[in-house]
Chains A and B, each alone.
Chain A
Amino acid sequence: MTRLIIRRLLLGVLTIACIYVLTFVMVISLPGNPFQQGQHNIPPEAEMALRARYSMDNNWLYFWEFLGGAVRLDFGPTFTYNDWTCNQVIASALPVSMLIGLTAILVAVMVGVPVGVISAARRNSWVDVTCLALVLLGISLPTFVTGSAMLIVFSVYLKIAPVGGWGTLAHLPLPVLTLALPFTAYIARLTRTGMLDALSSDFVRTALAKGASPRAVIWKHALKVAVLPVLSFLGPATAQAMTGSFVVEKVFGVPGIGQHFVNAALNRDAGLIMSTVLVFATLLVAFNLIVDVLYTRLDPRISEAV
């Protein structure tokens, strides 16, 4: 187990380093000038001075300076928001996205898994068909549609939720539900498939033959196996949900980190692009590691394989 974790950690560091190099190359080869802000074209001499200020007059220098800072968890300045550092931007936005993302994933698991199990247990019944239809809807409807629809129904007509913004608990449910919907649908589908497989396997038949109640067999024995594909989906899904959704943030006016991913690239804000990418990469690597560890716990066969 320890060997597995150490190996995965080293691999993770290597992955993040590769991502950094790739992002850096892309950032410096992007057309467009990060220092031009308003309608005025920036005079070349003034731009040279600003590049010198941020060590951006030399790509190698900038590469090592940013890396040195990142290792010390200091991501330096942003060019779009002159008065804030990348650290401040992340510290203000990431907790918001993590809160929404984590709650959404929790909701998705608590709803998705039972729906999948019931659907599989009553295969081809009307319950199953209804669930499948809802799942299909949840996966295919984009979040900007579901988000806007919720906003109109709950905020504008029913007036039971604020229109948007952030600051109180009342701001939480709508973005969470919107973000959770596609995850719920996907988890339900994964559980259903996993459950159908499990129900047709030998150990379930044996258990049923030995007289165990179908309910106990489904929820105790079969679920443990059926939930494995959900678990491997949950690693990257949690990382994805926690690093923010541009669409959900835009629709509900939530100050999360998703918008900075997109805006930093549009603004050619080199420091902010690289720091958000590094944060996302680190979370992704971390969650995959957690899932792998959980996997070996749930399914002992795997520890030998990895």
Chain B
Amino acid sequence: MMRKLLLVCAASLISVLVIYAFSAEEPRADFTYVNPSGIHTLDPARMSWTQDFRVALNLWEGLTTWDPATLEPISGAALFPPQVSTDGLVYTFTLRDDARWSSGDAVTAFDFIRGWRRGMEPGTATDYTFLFTDHVAGAAEYVTWRRDAVATLTTLKRLRDGWTISTDQARSIARLAQVRHLLPAISDAASASAGKSDDAAGDNLVDRLASLSLDWGRLYVEAFDRHVAEFGARFADVGIRAAEERTLDVQLSAPCPYFLDLIALPIFLPCHPSIELVRERHRGGPITAEGLVVYDPQWTKPHYPRNDYPGLITNGAYRLSDWTFKRRVRLAVNPHHRDADAIACRTVDMLVFDNISASIMAYEAGDVDFLPAMNVPYDHEIARLAQSGTRPDFHLYNVLATYFLNFNCTSETVSAKPNPFVDRRVRKAFSLAVDKKSIVENVLKRGDRVAHSFVPPDTIPGYTPAAGLTVSVEEAHRLLAAAGYPGGRGMPVVELLYTPPDERVCQALARMWEERLGVRVELRSQESKTFAEDKANQRFMLARGNWYADYNDPTTFLDCLSTGNGNNDSGYANARYDGLLTEASAARDPVARASLLRQAEAIIVEEDLPILPILHYAVPIAIKPYVKGLHANARLWFPFRYVTVER
């Protein structure tokens, strides 16, 4: 009896699950490709990954876009080229008459302002806010004002609710007039040392604040209402203005020769007004209680019934037709797009395969038409098949990216040992002793290019990277001896920090240094998130690094090593280098500018060596022979609207 009951229960549970799991299958899309790890986000303001960019730029269209063959900026939702003032500071874009959202509404300049503002707001944006603060007039001031306000409002709210606060939070409200006059002695010291979180002055400040008998609730409401009142006026000072519905004026803080290339990136995409239906509000204001601009994260879904929200509306060649978590994204032609009738692939499926080997098998079985990533443990074999021509459907693309090592140029000690790499002679010696060719050809064998410079050659028009160094063990010995380590004697054990996929390269490097320089190298492999944190905080002697170009200009690489840059993991600082970059940014003549940038690059790859460039990536991809219109390019940018499938 019992057994039968159990069986019936199990059987019915299984059938319910079967029905739940396998709902009716749709017919195959016109074009199918694989995105190995799935989509992190479809919110253009929060995107960080190429694979997300690829979907976003098929769904939306910015003021400009890139030609898939040449990567030159071309007309997007705006006419091309825009009007540019003679000083290069004001761009006037006129939107196309036929620029349409997938709902049929016209795309307006206000939609761009809405989208760009999301790219600056601390609640909605993450990685690419710097593109606004670096280039758009008034954006840096606005973002600082907003971030300060969020810190202040959050802290006041925490104090009101009786929670303890951190020293950073304490500093943020010590600036408030109502608080400041109560602690005159301490607030100056505290705000002066802002940024260093756990010092005594900060702790003292937290205690002092907690002991004040202030009405935090009242202060919070005052601060909140004042901030909401200024919210619109402050943004009006940012150099993005709509003269009329179809005209957008952008005022830059300094001339930017690659601005038209830049604004094709997802962070510069427009946003349909319907998003305001799912905005979070507090006390009737446009921000949350913490002062953040927050939209319900579900706004990127094709269907999301809340406040009559119509689901995601986009202005690109495609609209989002379906999105199942970690399984599939389906794009369908945006019927209101100006070229809708000319697009051959009416539906595109993006499938998720966590296991790339499985996606290759699916490609071989014919279930998939295109693989934009094939980084498998046997990628050298795939590279061989591509290079030998055995598999004409496998292609190797040189991408705008560099794999390198960071030398820690700043910390005198690392894990209680003296750090020899603060001496640039040691850095140069270690660089001279590395046979990069052997790493590329004998260790990895993936068809990557040997890197002598930080900026990859042959990809950025008008720029020839610095020559870099060639292998010279004698010179390396001379430099080591000059630095006080003749024959490697007296050199502390060198720690090399990396993540598991770098194992083979790092072993080869360690062996080269041990054999050629007589030093001892300790390999330390770390899980990636821990690694990223240690690297960003200079807790290493040598650490693996890589950088993918954000836009098509040498500064996307070179800026990383300017003093105080958030991505300057080496902690490198050289006033001459910074000066050349500043000079270049002011130069109006492209040839002079390129020459200044090249001089700057020469400092880092020939003299100071804060980094040791090893290789520029080549990425293997697979395209079925019957797929036409997918162009080879260094940014792996694939607009599906030009694709035809002739199965």
A contact set with B: CB distance below 8 Å: 31-46, 48-50, 52-53, 57-58, 60-61, 77, 80-85, 88-89, 92-93, 95-96, 98-99, 102-103, 106, 151, 155-156, 159, 162-169, 172, 249-253, 255, 259, 266-268, 294, 297-298
Q: Does B372 contact A (CB under 8 A)?
A: no
Chain B residues 125-154 with CB under 8 Å of chain A are 125-130, 144, 147-148, 150-151, 154
Contacts of B163 in A (CB 8 A): 58, 60-61
* A270–B268 alpha-carbon span in the complex (Å): 30
A88–B567 CA distance with the chains assembled, in angstroms? 34
A49 touches B292 (CB 8 A): yes
B324 contacts chain A at the CB level, 8 A cutoff: yes
Please tell me which one of the listed residues B49, B154, B290, B297 contacts residue A77 in the complex, with CB atoms under 8 A apart.
B297
Complex partner residue of B48 from A39, A50, A167, CB under 8 angstroms? A39
Give the CA-CA distance A46 to B123 in the complex, in Å.
9
Bound: A38/B367 CA distance, A: 30
Which residues of B sit under 8 angstroms from A250, Cβ to Cβ? 354-355
Answer whether residue B626 sits at the interface, using C-beta atoms and an 8 A cutoff. Answer: no
* Among A41, A57, A82, A266, contact of B566 (Cβ-Cβ < 8 Å): A41
Q: A46-B147, A49-B122, A253-B358 are in contact. Are A106 and B533 (CB under 8 A)?
A: no
Task: From known contacts A163-B358, A253-B354, infer whether A267 and B529 are also in contact, taking CB-CB under 8 Å.
Answer: yes
Please pick, from B325, B532, B566, the residue contacting A81 in the complex, using a CB distance under 8 A: B325
The residue on A at minimum CB distance from B6 is A294
Within 8 Å of chain A (Cβ to Cβ): is B241? no
* Extra A-B contacts (8), CB below 8 Å, given A53-B288, A253-B354: A39-B546, A46-B126, A50-B126, A57-B154, A58-B158, A60-B164, A81-B38, A255-B327
Q: Once the chains bind, are B326 and A93 in contact (CB under 8 Å)?
A: yes
Contacts of B150 in A (CB 8 A): 48-49, 52
B327–A167 CB distance below 8 A? yes
B123 to chain A: closest residue by CB? A53
Separation of A166 and B325 alpha carbons in the complex (Å)? 12
B42 x A83 contact (CB < 8 A): yes
Please measure, in the bound complex, the distance between the C-alpha atom of A38 and the C-alpha atom of B151, giving whole angstroms: 24
Which B522-537 residues have a C-beta within 8 angstroms of A? 527-530, 532-534, 536
Query: B151–A41 contact, CB under 8 A?
Result: no
CA distance A294 to B528 in the complex (A): 46
Residue of A nearest to B37 (CB): A263
> Which A residues lie within 8 Å of B91 (CB)?
none
Q: Given A82-B46, A83-B42, A255-B327, are A41 and B536 also a contact pair (CB < 8 Å)?
A: yes
Let me know if B585 is at the binding interface, CB within 8 A: no
A169 and B567 contact, CB distance less than 8 A: no
Are B569 and A41 in contact, CB atoms less than 8 angstroms apart? yes
Given the known interface contacts A35-B126, A163-B358, the answer about A53 and B529 at a Cβ–Cβ threshold of 8 Å is no
**Residue among B14, B49, B127, B358 making CB contact with A103, cutoff 8 Å:** B14
Q: A106 to chain B: which residues have CB within 8 Å?
A: 10, 14
**Is there contact, CB below 8 Å, between A80 and B297?**
no
Given contacts A58-B163, A106-B10, contact A52 B354 (CB under 8 A): no
- In the complex, whether B448 has a CB less than 8 A from a CB of chain A is no
Min CB gap A283→B, angstroms? 13
Interface digits, B348-372 against A, CB 8 Å rule (1 contact, 0 not)?
0001111100110110010100000
Q: How far is the CA of A36 from the CA of B301 in the complex (A)?
A: 24
* Partner-contacting stretch, out of B111-119, B165-173, B252-260, B610-618: B165-173
Please give, as numbers and ranges, the residues of chain A lying within 8 Å of B166 by CB-CB distance: 57-58
| Given known A-B contacts A77-B297, A164-B353, A167-B25, A48 and B40 have beta carbons under 8 A apart | no
A49 in contact with B325 given A31-B530, A39-B48, A57-B169 (CB within 8 Å): no
Instruction: Indicate with 1 or 0, residue by residue over B1-27, a CB within 8 angstroms of chain A CB atoms.
Output: 010000000100110011011100100
- When the two chains form their complex, are residues A169 and B362 in contact, meaning their CB atoms are under 8 A apart? no
Closest 7 CB pairs of A and B: A38-B48, A32-B529, A49-B122, A99-B17, A52-B154, A82-B41, A164-B358
Cβ-defined partner of A99 (8 Å) among B21, B169, B324, B367: B21
Whether A43 and B530, one on each chain, are in contact in the complex, defined by CB atoms closer than 8 angstroms, is no
Interface CB pairs A-B, < 8 A, 5 = A33-B533, A36-B533, A45-B147, A49-B147, A82-B297
On whether A81 and B123 interact (CB within 8 A), knowing A48-B151, A102-B17, A156-B361, the answer reads: no
Contacts of A82 in B (CB 8 A): 40-41, 43, 46, 297
Which of A36, A41, A43 lies at the interface centre, i.e. has the most chain B CB atoms within 10 A of its CB?
A41
Collect the chain B residues with CB atoms within 8 Å of residue A38's CB. Answer: 48-49, 127
Residue of B whose beta carbon sits closest to that of A31 = B530
Residue from the list A37, A162, A253 in contact with B355, Cβ < 8 A: A253
Contact B326 A42 (CB under 8 A): no
The answer to whether B353 and A165 have CB atoms under 8 Å apart is: yes
Please judge, given known A-B contacts A163-B362, A165-B353, A253-B355, whether A99 and B14 are in contact too, CB under 8 Å: yes
Contact B532 A83 (CB under 8 A): no
Looking at the assembled complex, report how far the CB atom of B360 sits from the nearest CB atom of chain A, in whole angstroms.
9
Query: What residues of B have a CB within 8 angstroms of the CB of A92 in the complex?
Result: 324-327
- Answer yes or no: B473 CB below 8 A from chain A CBs: no
B216 interfacial contact with A, CB 8 Å? no
Whether A95 pairs with B14 at a CB distance below 8 angstroms is no
Tell me whether A52 and B325 are in contact in the complex, defined as CB-CB below 8 angstroms, given that A33-B529, A164-B361, A266-B527 are known contacts. no
Decide if B555 is an interface residue (CB 8 Å cutoff): no
User: In the assembled complex, how far is the CB of residue B223 from the closest CB belonging to chain A, in whole angstroms?
Assistant: 14
Q: Complex formed: what's the CA distance from A172 to B17 in Å?
A: 12
In the complex, what's the smallest C-beta–C-beta distance from A161 to chain B, in angstroms? Answer: 11
B279 CB to closest chain A CB, in angstroms?
14
| B358: nearest chain-A partner, CB-CB | A164
The docked-state distance in angstroms from the alpha carbon of A118 to that of B164 is: 66
Question: How many Å lie between the Cα of A77 and that of B123 in the bound state?
Answer: 14
Quick check: B532 and A99 within 8 Å, CB to CB?
A: no
- Complex Cα gap A138–B49 (Å): 41
Q: At the interface, yes or no: B298 with Cβ under 8 Å from chain A?
A: yes
Which residues in A have their C-beta under 8 angstroms from that of B292? 49, 52-53
Determine whether the beta carbon of A32 is less than 8 Å from that of B169. Answer: no
A145–B20 CA distance with the chains assembled, in angstroms? 30
Residues of B within 8 A of A266 (CB): 527-529
Residues of B within 8 A of A164 (CB): 353, 355, 358, 361-362
Cβ proximity bits B278-312 to A, threshold 8 Å, 1 near / 0 not: 00000000001011101001101100000000000
User: When A31-B529, A48-B151, A106-B10 are in contact, do A165 and B46 touch as well, CB less than 8 Å?
Assistant: no
Q: Is the CB of A95 within 8 A of B21?
A: yes
Taken together as a complex, chains A and B put the C-alpha atoms of A32 and B533 apart, in Å, by 5
A103 to B16 CA separation, bound complex (whole angstroms): 12
Assembly CA distance A92 to B38 (angstroms): 14
The answer to whether B361 and A83 have CB atoms under 8 Å apart is no
Partner of A102, one of B14, B122, B154: B14
B195 within 8 A of A: yes
Whether the pair B567, A40 counts as a contact (CB closer than 8 A) is yes
The answer, among A83, A99, A298, for a CB contact under 8 Å with B18, is A99
CB <8 Å contact, A168 and B22: yes
Within the assembled complex, what's the spacing in Å between the Cα atoms of A53 and B536? 23
Q: What residues on A are CB-neighbors of B397 within 8 Å?
A: none
Closest to B547 in A: A39
Is B80's CB within 8 Å of the partner chain A?
Answer: no
Q: Determine the chain A residues whose CB is within 8 A of the CB of B291 once the complex forms.
A: 52
Contact yes or no, A53 B290, CB < 8 A: yes
Asked if residues A49 and B353 are in contact (CB atoms below 8 Å), the reply is no
B548 at the interface (CB under 8 A from A): yes
Q: Closest CB of chain A to B445's CB: distance in Å? A: 24
**Pairwise interchain contact A37-B353, C-beta atoms closer than 8 A:** no
Among B21, B324, B546, find the residue whose CB has the most chain A CB atoms closer than 10 A. B21
Distance (whole angstroms) from the CB of B308 to the closest CB of chain A: 20
From residue B467, how far is it (CB to closest CB) to chain A in Å? 26
Q: Which residues of A contact B168 (CB under 8 A)?
A: 44, 48
Pair B354/A259 contact, Cβ less than 8 Å = yes
Could you tell me the distance in whole angstroms from the C-beta of B378 to the nearest C-beta in chain A? 14
How many Å lie between the Cα of A52 and that of B13 in the bound state?
42
Q: Could you tell me the distance between the alpha carbons of A248 and B431 in the complex, rounded to whole angstroms? A: 44
Do the beta carbons of A255 and B352 come within 8 Å of each other? yes
Q: What separation, in Å, do the CA atoms of A169 and B18 have in the docked complex?
A: 8
Complex: how many Å from CA A77 to CA B46? 15
Kindly report which residue of chain A lies nearest to residue B127, judged by CB atoms: A40
